[in-house]
Amino acid sequence: MKTKVQTIISYAKLGPVIPVVTINDASKAVPLAEALVEGGLPVVEITLRTGAAMEAIRQIAKAVPKAVVAAGTVINAEQVMAVVDAGAKMIVTPGTTHRMAEVLAEAAIPVMPGCSTPSEALELAQLGFEALKFFPASVFGGTSWLKAINGPLPHLTFCPTGGIDLNSAPDYLTLPNVPCVGGTWVAPSKMIDAGDFDGIVKLAKDAVAKLRG
């Protein structure tokens, strides 16, 4: 588990933002991943919210070796096995029940499980998970929650996601327990559907420039 946690943290440090993406057409997956890599954001979370998501993961894993493709919105054991088979390099969950945490602890690839309360974070830490997703961040206290949790649980790191944009991201990234944030603004669904990958390259570069200084 320790090696998996270290791998997650290394992924989190590859860019200040992990784009959280919803893909409706798998043919857009490879050019999207290429655009994000070019823009300096190589980690991309493909949410399992559409029928195209699994094929999108599969195509990125095969065709864009510089991308770190994560499977997001994973909510059951069947999906865990499916995304591993599709070639995902990491798993992200929106929240984590005790049973799901046990399944994730045995996953073949690293996992960033979701939490929104101190009790959930503590339980995940006891199972060996030390790099967590804080979701939905803006609803459950944002930076105030992260500052507070750093006191009793300073060994944990978080990727806050949910309601974060280019203007609010800097406040999160100044915190010692936040190596990156997750956000949809870098690769909006409308731009993906329209094939505006040059625009996505620009959004990614703008995010890196502002958030990395």
Residue 140, in any domain of the structure: yes
Work out the burial of residue 209: count CB atoms within 10 Å of its CB; fewer than 13 is exposed, 13-18 middle, 19 or more buried: exposed
Rounded to 5 degrees, φ, ψ at 44 are: -130, 130
pLDDT single digits (tens) 85-143? 999 999 999 999 999 999 999 999 999 999 999 999 999 999 999 999 999 999 999 99
pTM of the entire predicted model:
0.96
State both tokens at 34.
């290429």
Percentage of residues in the chain with pLDDT exceeding 70?
100
The answer to the question of residue 186 being in a domain is: yes
Residue 81 lies in a domain: yes
- Read off the CATH number of the domain in which 145 is found: 3.20.20.70
Catalytic residues: 45, 133
Answer whether residue 213 shows pLDDT above 90: no
Cα three-residue angle 167-173-178, rounded to 5 degrees: 135
Q: What mean pLDDT do residues 18-29 have?
A: 98
Structural domain count of the chain: 1
Residue 1: the pLDDT is 80
Domain annotation covers residue 213: no
Q: Is the CB of residue 74 less than 8 Å from the CB of residue 96?
A: no
Beta strands 43-47 and 181-183 are: unpaired
Own/partner long-range contacts of 91-97 (Cβ < 8 Å, ≥24 apart): 92/45, 92/133, 93/133, 94/133, 94/135, 95/120, 95/135, 96/120, 96/124
